[in-house]
Amino acid sequence: MKRNELIACEECDLLQLGAPPAAGGALRCRRCRAELRRGRSNGPERALAFTCASAVLLVISNLFPIVGLSLNGHIVQATLAGSVRLLYLHGTWPLAVLVGLTTIVTPVVQTVAMLWLLLPLHFGRVPWRAPEGFRLFQLARPWGMTEVLILGLLVALVKLAHIAKVVPGTALWSFIALMLLLAAASATFDPREVWARITERGGARAFRLPPLRLRRNAMTASAYGLVLCEECGLLLKQPGGAGRHVCPRCKAPLHQRKPASLSRTWAYLIAAMVLYIPANVLPVMDTSSLFGTQKDTIMSGVVYLWVSGSWPLALLVFIASIAVPMLKILGLVYLAVSTQFRSQWLPGQRARIYRVIELVGRWSMLDIYVITMLVALVQFQALATIKAGPAAIAFGAVVVLTLLAAMSFDPRLMWDALEANRVHSE
Protein backbone atom coordinates (compact mmCIF):
# COMPACT_ATOMS: atom_id res chain seq x y z
CA MET A 1 0.00 0.00 0.00
CA LYS A 2 1.35 3.41 -0.98
CA ARG A 3 1.63 6.26 1.49
CA ASN A 4 -1.50 8.43 1.66
CA GLU A 5 -3.37 6.16 -0.73
CA LEU A 6 -7.01 7.05 -1.40
CA ILE A 7 -9.26 4.33 0.01
CA ALA A 8 -12.99 3.71 -0.23
CA CYS A 9 -14.51 1.70 2.62
CA GLU A 10 -16.20 -1.48 1.37
CA GLU A 11 -18.95 -1.20 4.01
CA CYS A 12 -19.84 2.52 4.11
CA ASP A 13 -18.18 3.91 0.93
CA LEU A 14 -16.41 6.69 2.87
CA LEU A 15 -13.47 8.12 0.93
CA GLN A 16 -10.36 8.59 3.06
CA LEU A 17 -6.57 8.72 2.97
CA GLY A 18 -4.69 5.85 4.54
CA ALA A 19 -1.05 5.26 5.37
CA PRO A 20 0.47 1.76 5.27
CA PRO A 21 -0.35 -0.08 8.54
CA ALA A 22 2.47 -1.56 10.61
CA ALA A 23 3.06 -5.31 10.41
CA GLY A 24 0.44 -7.01 12.54
CA GLY A 25 -1.64 -3.83 12.76
CA ALA A 26 -4.82 -2.83 10.96
CA LEU A 27 -6.21 0.27 9.32
CA ARG A 28 -9.89 0.87 10.10
CA CYS A 29 -12.54 3.13 8.61
CA ARG A 30 -12.96 6.24 10.74
CA ARG A 31 -16.73 6.17 10.28
CA CYS A 32 -17.95 2.54 10.48
CA ARG A 33 -14.76 0.95 11.96
CA ALA A 34 -14.58 -1.71 9.24
CA GLU A 35 -11.12 -3.09 8.53
CA LEU A 36 -9.62 -1.40 5.46
CA ARG A 37 -6.14 -2.91 5.38
CA ARG A 38 -4.07 -5.25 7.53
CA GLY A 39 -0.32 -4.93 7.85
CA ARG A 40 1.46 -8.09 6.72
CA SER A 41 5.14 -8.84 6.32
CA ASN A 42 5.94 -11.27 3.48
CA GLY A 43 2.24 -12.08 3.13
CA PRO A 44 2.39 -13.92 -0.24
CA GLU A 45 5.43 -15.99 0.84
CA ARG A 46 3.73 -17.09 4.05
CA ALA A 47 0.46 -17.75 2.24
CA LEU A 48 2.32 -19.96 -0.26
CA ALA A 49 3.96 -22.00 2.52
CA PHE A 50 0.62 -22.54 4.28
CA THR A 51 -1.11 -23.37 0.99
CA CYS A 52 1.49 -26.00 -0.02
CA ALA A 53 1.12 -27.69 3.37
CA SER A 54 -2.69 -27.53 3.01
CA ALA A 55 -2.51 -29.22 -0.40
CA VAL A 56 -0.65 -32.21 1.10
CA LEU A 57 -3.09 -32.48 4.01
CA LEU A 58 -6.09 -32.25 1.68
CA VAL A 59 -4.96 -35.44 -0.04
CA ILE A 60 -4.46 -37.27 3.28
CA SER A 61 -7.75 -35.98 4.71
CA ASN A 62 -9.78 -37.22 1.76
CA LEU A 63 -8.09 -40.61 1.25
CA PHE A 64 -7.83 -41.96 4.80
CA PRO A 65 -10.63 -42.76 7.29
CA ILE A 66 -11.63 -39.94 9.63
CA VAL A 67 -12.87 -42.17 12.43
CA GLY A 68 -13.95 -45.75 13.07
CA LEU A 69 -16.62 -47.31 15.28
CA SER A 70 -16.10 -50.74 16.83
CA LEU A 71 -19.04 -52.77 18.17
CA ASN A 72 -18.94 -56.51 19.00
CA GLY A 73 -15.87 -57.02 16.84
CA HIS A 74 -17.45 -55.28 13.85
CA ILE A 75 -15.66 -52.09 12.73
CA VAL A 76 -17.17 -49.37 10.55
CA GLN A 77 -14.80 -46.71 9.20
CA ALA A 78 -15.81 -43.50 7.47
CA THR A 79 -14.07 -41.26 4.99
CA LEU A 80 -15.47 -37.86 4.09
CA ALA A 81 -16.25 -38.88 0.51
CA GLY A 82 -17.83 -42.13 1.78
CA SER A 83 -20.07 -40.14 4.14
CA VAL A 84 -21.26 -37.96 1.26
CA ARG A 85 -21.89 -41.08 -0.84
CA LEU A 86 -24.05 -42.64 1.90
CA LEU A 87 -26.17 -39.49 2.15
CA TYR A 88 -26.73 -39.69 -1.59
CA LEU A 89 -27.62 -43.41 -1.51
CA HIS A 90 -30.14 -42.78 1.30
CA GLY A 91 -32.02 -40.34 -0.92
CA THR A 92 -30.90 -37.12 0.75
CA TRP A 93 -28.94 -35.95 -2.29
CA PRO A 94 -29.41 -32.20 -1.57
CA LEU A 95 -27.64 -32.75 1.74
CA ALA A 96 -24.93 -34.81 0.04
CA VAL A 97 -24.31 -32.01 -2.47
CA LEU A 98 -24.14 -29.38 0.29
CA VAL A 99 -21.71 -31.37 2.45
CA GLY A 100 -19.58 -32.35 -0.55
CA LEU A 101 -19.32 -28.76 -1.76
CA THR A 102 -18.50 -27.19 1.62
CA THR A 103 -16.04 -29.81 2.89
CA ILE A 104 -14.39 -31.28 -0.22
CA VAL A 105 -14.88 -29.12 -3.32
CA THR A 106 -14.45 -25.59 -1.94
CA PRO A 107 -11.30 -26.28 0.15
CA VAL A 108 -9.74 -27.92 -2.93
CA VAL A 109 -10.78 -25.03 -5.21
CA GLN A 110 -9.54 -22.45 -2.70
CA THR A 111 -6.17 -24.20 -2.37
CA VAL A 112 -5.76 -24.67 -6.14
CA ALA A 113 -6.62 -21.00 -6.76
CA MET A 114 -4.03 -19.78 -4.25
CA LEU A 115 -1.36 -22.07 -5.71
CA TRP A 116 -2.32 -20.89 -9.20
CA LEU A 117 -1.58 -17.29 -8.18
CA LEU A 118 1.23 -17.62 -5.64
CA LEU A 119 3.54 -20.22 -7.23
CA PRO A 120 4.34 -18.20 -10.38
CA LEU A 121 4.89 -15.03 -8.29
CA HIS A 122 7.34 -16.92 -6.10
CA PHE A 123 9.42 -17.75 -9.18
CA GLY A 124 9.21 -14.20 -10.52
CA ARG A 125 6.57 -14.91 -13.14
CA VAL A 126 3.12 -13.50 -13.76
CA PRO A 127 0.26 -15.99 -13.10
CA TRP A 128 -1.49 -17.23 -16.22
CA ARG A 129 -5.05 -15.81 -16.42
CA ALA A 130 -4.73 -14.17 -13.02
CA PRO A 131 -8.24 -12.57 -13.10
CA GLU A 132 -9.88 -16.00 -13.43
CA GLY A 133 -7.73 -17.34 -10.59
CA PHE A 134 -8.78 -14.47 -8.33
CA ARG A 135 -12.46 -14.85 -9.08
CA LEU A 136 -12.21 -18.60 -8.40
CA PHE A 137 -10.61 -17.88 -5.03
CA GLN A 138 -13.23 -15.27 -4.08
CA LEU A 139 -16.03 -17.63 -5.12
CA ALA A 140 -14.78 -20.52 -2.97
CA ARG A 141 -13.59 -18.53 0.05
CA PRO A 142 -16.95 -18.04 1.88
CA TRP A 143 -18.07 -21.65 1.44
CA GLY A 144 -15.12 -23.61 2.82
CA MET A 145 -16.15 -24.80 6.30
CA THR A 146 -13.39 -27.10 7.52
CA GLU A 147 -13.40 -25.58 11.02
CA VAL A 148 -17.15 -26.22 11.40
CA LEU A 149 -16.62 -29.80 10.22
CA ILE A 150 -14.07 -30.40 12.99
CA LEU A 151 -16.53 -29.25 15.66
CA GLY A 152 -19.23 -31.41 14.08
CA LEU A 153 -16.90 -34.41 14.30
CA LEU A 154 -16.29 -33.68 17.98
CA VAL A 155 -20.01 -33.58 18.75
CA ALA A 156 -20.61 -36.81 16.77
CA LEU A 157 -17.80 -38.61 18.61
CA VAL A 158 -19.25 -37.64 21.99
CA LYS A 159 -22.61 -39.07 20.96
CA LEU A 160 -21.07 -42.27 19.60
CA ALA A 161 -18.81 -42.85 22.60
CA HIS A 162 -21.87 -43.94 24.61
CA ILE A 163 -22.76 -46.80 22.26
CA ALA A 164 -19.46 -48.12 20.89
CA LYS A 165 -15.69 -47.76 20.94
CA VAL A 166 -14.48 -44.82 18.88
CA VAL A 167 -11.24 -45.29 16.93
CA PRO A 168 -9.75 -41.99 15.63
CA GLY A 169 -8.43 -42.27 12.08
CA THR A 170 -5.49 -40.67 10.32
CA ALA A 171 -7.71 -38.13 8.56
CA LEU A 172 -9.06 -36.81 11.86
CA TRP A 173 -5.65 -35.44 12.89
CA SER A 174 -5.02 -34.38 9.31
CA PHE A 175 -8.27 -32.40 9.24
CA ILE A 176 -7.39 -30.61 12.48
CA ALA A 177 -4.04 -29.51 11.03
CA LEU A 178 -5.73 -28.64 7.71
CA MET A 179 -8.23 -26.40 9.52
CA LEU A 180 -5.39 -24.36 11.06
CA LEU A 181 -3.34 -24.18 7.86
CA LEU A 182 -6.25 -23.14 5.64
CA ALA A 183 -7.20 -20.41 8.11
CA ALA A 184 -3.59 -19.19 8.17
CA ALA A 185 -3.32 -19.28 4.35
CA SER A 186 -6.56 -17.34 3.93
CA ALA A 187 -5.54 -14.77 6.55
CA THR A 188 -2.14 -14.11 4.94
CA PHE A 189 -3.45 -14.07 1.36
CA ASP A 190 -4.18 -10.41 0.57
CA PRO A 191 -5.57 -9.94 -2.97
CA ARG A 192 -4.46 -6.29 -3.05
CA GLU A 193 -0.87 -7.19 -2.19
CA VAL A 194 -0.83 -10.00 -4.75
CA TRP A 195 -2.21 -7.66 -7.42
CA ALA A 196 0.47 -5.11 -6.52
CA ARG A 197 3.15 -7.74 -7.17
CA ILE A 198 1.55 -8.76 -10.46
CA THR A 199 1.57 -5.09 -11.49
CA GLU A 200 5.25 -4.76 -10.53
CA ARG A 201 6.09 -7.73 -12.77
CA GLY A 202 4.27 -6.15 -15.70
CA GLY A 203 1.34 -8.54 -15.72
CA ALA A 204 -1.23 -5.79 -15.21
CA ARG A 205 -1.44 -2.11 -16.02
CA ALA A 206 -1.05 0.29 -13.09
CA PHE A 207 -4.29 2.25 -12.65
CA ARG A 208 -4.16 5.78 -11.24
CA LEU A 209 -7.10 7.97 -10.34
CA PRO A 210 -7.32 11.36 -12.02
CA PRO A 211 -6.94 14.37 -9.66
CA LEU A 212 -10.13 14.90 -7.68
CA ARG A 213 -11.57 18.34 -7.03
CA LEU A 214 -12.90 18.72 -3.51
CA ARG A 215 -16.65 19.07 -3.31
CA ARG A 216 -18.44 20.62 -0.40
CA ASN A 217 -21.04 17.91 0.13
CA ALA A 218 -19.07 14.91 -1.10
CA MET A 219 -17.62 12.37 1.35
CA THR A 220 -18.15 9.04 -0.39
CA ALA A 221 -16.63 7.38 -3.43
CA SER A 222 -19.96 7.38 -5.28
CA ALA A 223 -20.35 11.15 -4.66
CA TYR A 224 -17.09 11.66 -6.55
CA GLY A 225 -18.18 9.33 -9.35
CA LEU A 226 -15.83 6.56 -8.21
CA VAL A 227 -16.57 2.85 -7.97
CA LEU A 228 -14.82 0.18 -5.89
CA CYS A 229 -14.27 -3.28 -7.36
CA GLU A 230 -15.57 -5.75 -4.78
CA GLU A 231 -13.24 -8.53 -5.97
CA CYS A 232 -9.77 -6.92 -6.16
CA GLY A 233 -10.32 -3.63 -4.29
CA LEU A 234 -9.39 -1.36 -7.21
CA LEU A 235 -10.83 2.16 -6.91
CA LEU A 236 -11.47 3.77 -10.28
CA LYS A 237 -13.62 6.27 -12.13
CA GLN A 238 -17.13 5.03 -12.84
CA PRO A 239 -17.19 4.03 -16.55
CA GLY A 240 -19.56 6.12 -18.61
CA GLY A 241 -22.40 4.89 -20.78
CA ALA A 242 -25.03 2.24 -20.30
CA GLY A 243 -24.46 -1.50 -20.28
CA ARG A 244 -22.34 -3.93 -18.33
CA HIS A 245 -19.02 -2.62 -17.03
CA VAL A 246 -16.16 -4.79 -15.76
CA CYS A 247 -13.07 -4.05 -13.70
CA PRO A 248 -10.14 -3.44 -16.08
CA ARG A 249 -7.83 -5.37 -13.73
CA CYS A 250 -9.70 -8.49 -12.56
CA LYS A 251 -12.61 -8.45 -15.08
CA ALA A 252 -15.26 -8.67 -12.33
CA PRO A 253 -18.57 -6.80 -12.88
CA LEU A 254 -18.55 -3.21 -11.56
CA HIS A 255 -21.49 -1.78 -9.60
CA GLN A 256 -21.91 1.33 -7.45
CA ARG A 257 -24.10 -0.85 -5.23
CA LYS A 258 -24.96 -4.54 -5.37
CA PRO A 259 -27.73 -4.99 -7.98
CA ALA A 260 -31.23 -5.46 -6.50
CA SER A 261 -29.63 -5.88 -3.08
CA LEU A 262 -32.74 -5.50 -0.93
CA SER A 263 -34.99 -7.49 -3.28
CA ARG A 264 -32.63 -10.47 -3.30
CA THR A 265 -32.06 -10.21 0.47
CA TRP A 266 -35.82 -10.32 1.12
CA ALA A 267 -36.31 -13.25 -1.26
CA TYR A 268 -33.66 -15.34 0.52
CA LEU A 269 -34.94 -14.29 3.95
CA ILE A 270 -38.57 -15.17 3.28
CA ALA A 271 -37.57 -18.59 1.95
CA ALA A 272 -35.37 -19.15 5.04
CA MET A 273 -38.19 -18.17 7.41
CA VAL A 274 -40.60 -20.59 5.74
CA LEU A 275 -38.11 -23.48 5.97
CA TYR A 276 -37.03 -22.68 9.53
CA ILE A 277 -40.29 -24.17 10.88
CA PRO A 278 -40.00 -27.68 9.33
CA ALA A 279 -36.27 -27.64 10.11
CA ASN A 280 -37.06 -27.50 13.83
CA VAL A 281 -40.33 -29.46 13.93
CA LEU A 282 -39.67 -32.44 11.65
CA PRO A 283 -37.21 -35.23 12.56
CA VAL A 284 -33.65 -34.41 11.63
CA MET A 285 -32.45 -38.00 12.13
CA ASP A 286 -34.07 -41.47 12.02
CA THR A 287 -32.46 -44.21 14.13
CA SER A 288 -33.43 -47.86 13.56
CA SER A 289 -32.27 -50.53 16.04
CA LEU A 290 -33.32 -53.80 17.69
CA PHE A 291 -35.43 -51.73 20.08
CA GLY A 292 -37.44 -49.99 17.35
CA THR A 293 -37.28 -46.71 15.49
CA GLN A 294 -36.52 -43.34 17.02
CA LYS A 295 -36.96 -39.97 15.34
CA ASP A 296 -34.91 -37.06 16.73
CA THR A 297 -35.38 -33.35 16.18
CA ILE A 298 -32.59 -30.79 16.61
CA MET A 299 -33.89 -29.91 20.09
CA SER A 300 -34.05 -33.56 21.20
CA GLY A 301 -30.40 -33.93 20.18
CA VAL A 302 -29.52 -30.98 22.41
CA VAL A 303 -31.46 -32.56 25.29
CA TYR A 304 -29.62 -35.88 24.78
CA LEU A 305 -26.23 -34.20 25.02
CA TRP A 306 -27.32 -32.29 28.14
CA VAL A 307 -28.72 -35.37 29.93
CA SER A 308 -25.64 -37.45 29.06
CA GLY A 309 -23.45 -34.90 30.87
CA SER A 310 -21.96 -33.17 27.81
CA TRP A 311 -23.54 -29.81 28.64
CA PRO A 312 -20.81 -27.70 26.94
CA LEU A 313 -21.49 -29.50 23.63
CA ALA A 314 -25.26 -29.27 24.25
CA LEU A 315 -24.89 -25.53 24.66
CA LEU A 316 -22.71 -25.33 21.55
CA VAL A 317 -25.23 -27.24 19.39
CA PHE A 318 -28.13 -25.17 20.76
CA ILE A 319 -26.37 -21.91 19.93
CA ALA A 320 -25.13 -23.02 16.49
CA SER A 321 -28.24 -24.90 15.31
CA ILE A 322 -31.16 -23.09 16.96
CA ALA A 323 -30.14 -19.68 18.30
CA VAL A 324 -27.76 -18.56 15.52
CA PRO A 325 -30.12 -19.26 12.54
CA MET A 326 -32.99 -17.50 14.34
CA LEU A 327 -30.84 -14.51 15.34
CA LYS A 328 -29.39 -14.31 11.81
CA ILE A 329 -32.89 -14.13 10.35
CA LEU A 330 -34.04 -11.53 12.90
CA GLY A 331 -30.86 -9.49 12.45
CA LEU A 332 -31.12 -9.48 8.65
CA VAL A 333 -34.82 -8.57 8.83
CA TYR A 334 -33.92 -5.63 11.09
CA LEU A 335 -31.19 -4.48 8.68
CA ALA A 336 -33.40 -4.90 5.60
CA VAL A 337 -36.39 -3.10 7.14
CA SER A 338 -34.35 -0.19 8.50
CA THR A 339 -32.57 0.19 5.16
CA GLN A 340 -35.82 -0.12 3.18
CA PHE A 341 -37.29 2.80 5.15
CA ARG A 342 -34.01 4.75 4.85
CA SER A 343 -33.59 4.91 8.62
CA GLN A 344 -30.73 7.06 9.94
CA TRP A 345 -30.89 5.52 13.42
CA LEU A 346 -27.59 4.15 14.79
CA PRO A 347 -25.87 3.24 11.50
CA GLY A 348 -22.67 2.28 13.35
CA GLN A 349 -24.58 -0.24 15.49
CA ARG A 350 -26.24 -1.72 12.41
CA ALA A 351 -22.84 -2.02 10.71
CA ARG A 352 -21.58 -4.06 13.70
CA ILE A 353 -24.67 -6.29 13.55
CA TYR A 354 -23.96 -6.95 9.88
CA ARG A 355 -20.35 -7.93 10.61
CA VAL A 356 -21.43 -10.29 13.41
CA ILE A 357 -23.97 -11.96 11.09
CA GLU A 358 -21.26 -12.49 8.47
CA LEU A 359 -18.89 -13.88 11.10
CA VAL A 360 -21.21 -16.47 12.70
CA GLY A 361 -23.23 -17.48 9.63
CA ARG A 362 -21.27 -20.59 8.70
CA TRP A 363 -21.40 -22.12 12.20
CA SER A 364 -25.03 -23.11 11.68
CA MET A 365 -23.71 -25.97 9.51
CA LEU A 366 -22.56 -27.76 12.68
CA ASP A 367 -25.60 -30.02 13.01
CA ILE A 368 -25.45 -30.97 9.31
CA TYR A 369 -21.91 -32.31 9.78
CA VAL A 370 -22.91 -34.15 12.97
CA ILE A 371 -25.68 -35.93 11.06
CA THR A 372 -23.29 -36.74 8.20
CA MET A 373 -20.83 -38.48 10.53
CA LEU A 374 -23.56 -40.36 12.42
CA VAL A 375 -25.10 -41.60 9.16
CA ALA A 376 -21.69 -42.78 7.94
CA LEU A 377 -20.66 -44.56 11.15
CA VAL A 378 -23.83 -46.08 12.58
CA GLN A 379 -24.33 -48.71 9.87
CA PHE A 380 -24.46 -51.99 11.80
CA GLN A 381 -27.23 -53.44 9.62
CA ALA A 382 -29.49 -55.49 11.95
CA LEU A 383 -28.14 -53.82 15.12
CA ALA A 384 -28.53 -50.12 14.34
CA THR A 385 -28.62 -47.70 11.40
CA ILE A 386 -29.06 -43.94 11.19
CA LYS A 387 -30.51 -41.97 8.30
CA ALA A 388 -30.91 -38.24 7.80
CA GLY A 389 -34.49 -37.04 8.27
CA PRO A 390 -36.44 -34.49 6.19
CA ALA A 391 -35.57 -31.68 8.62
CA ALA A 392 -31.90 -32.06 7.75
CA ILE A 393 -32.56 -30.95 4.17
CA ALA A 394 -34.74 -28.06 5.35
CA PHE A 395 -32.13 -27.00 7.89
CA GLY A 396 -29.34 -27.13 5.30
CA ALA A 397 -31.47 -24.93 3.03
CA VAL A 398 -31.99 -22.42 5.88
CA VAL A 399 -28.23 -22.17 6.42
CA VAL A 400 -27.52 -21.63 2.71
CA LEU A 401 -30.36 -19.12 2.29
CA THR A 402 -29.26 -17.00 5.27
CA LEU A 403 -25.68 -17.02 3.98
CA LEU A 404 -26.91 -15.87 0.56
CA ALA A 405 -29.09 -13.20 2.18
CA ALA A 406 -26.08 -11.80 4.06
CA MET A 407 -23.99 -11.85 0.86
CA SER A 408 -26.75 -10.08 -1.09
CA PHE A 409 -27.21 -7.28 1.45
CA ASP A 410 -25.14 -4.18 0.67
CA PRO A 411 -24.16 -2.42 3.96
CA ARG A 412 -23.37 0.78 2.05
CA LEU A 413 -27.11 1.27 1.59
CA MET A 414 -27.42 1.89 5.34
CA TRP A 415 -25.18 4.94 5.02
CA ASP A 416 -26.71 6.28 1.80
CA ALA A 417 -29.75 7.63 3.67
CA LEU A 418 -27.44 9.43 6.10
CA GLU A 419 -25.47 10.94 3.22
CA ALA A 420 -28.64 12.08 1.43
CA ASN A 421 -29.90 13.80 4.59
CA ARG A 422 -26.53 15.48 5.22
CA VAL A 423 -26.36 16.83 1.67
CA HIS A 424 -29.97 18.08 1.90
CA SER A 425 -29.37 19.82 5.25
CA GLU A 426 -26.28 21.59 3.92
* 424 pLDDT more than 60: no
Residue 91 placed within a domain? yes
* 201 pLDDT more than 80: no
* CATH number of the domain to which 386 belongs: 1.20.140
Residue 119 placed within a domain? yes
Q: pLDDT per residue over 109-131, tens digit each?
A: 999 999 999 999 888 888 888 88
* 261 pLDDT more than 60: yes
Q: Tell me what the mean pLDDT of segment 9-25 comes to.
A: 80
* 147, 115: one domain: yes
Q: Tell me what the mean pLDDT of segment 232-246 comes to.
A: 79
* 165, 131: one domain: yes
* 388, 404: one domain: yes
* 276, 400: one domain: yes
Q: Tell me what the mean pLDDT of segment 272-292 comes to.
A: 80
Q: pLDDT per residue over 205-233, tens digit each?
A: 666 766 666 666 668 888 888 888 888 88
Most confident of 79-93, 161-175, 213-227, 283-297: 79-93
* 53, 31: one domain: no
Residue 252 placed within a domain? no
* 125, 214: one domain: no
406 compared with 284, residue with greater pLDDT: 406
* 302, 414: one domain: yes
Determine the pLDDT at residue 353: 92
Residue 394 placed within a domain? yes
Please give the tally of structural domains in the chain. Answer: 3
* 93, 47: one domain: yes
Mean pLDDT of all residues in the chain? 84
Residue 180 placed within a domain? yes
Determine the pLDDT at residue 275: 94
* 172, 297: one domain: no
Residue 253 placed within a domain? no
Q: pLDDT per residue over 135-168, tens digit each?
A: 899 889 889 888 888 888 888 888 777 777 888 8
Residue 346 placed within a domain? yes
Determine the pLDDT at residue 276: 92
Treating both helix axes as pointing N-terminal to C-terminal, what angle do 347-360 and 412-425 enclose, rounded to 10 degrees? 170
- Exposure string of 156-185, with b = 16+ CB inside 10 Å and e = fewer, is bbbbbeeebebeebebbebbbebbbbbebb
Determine the pLDDT at residue 218: 63
* 379 pLDDT more than 90: no
* 167, 35: one domain: no
> What is the domain range of residue 218?
1-39+206-241
Final residue in a domain of this structure, among 197, 217, 250 = 197
* 211, 72: one domain: no
- 376 CB neighbour count, 10 Å cutoff: 25
* 293, 210: one domain: no
Determine the pLDDT at residue 130: 87
Residue 117 placed within a domain? yes
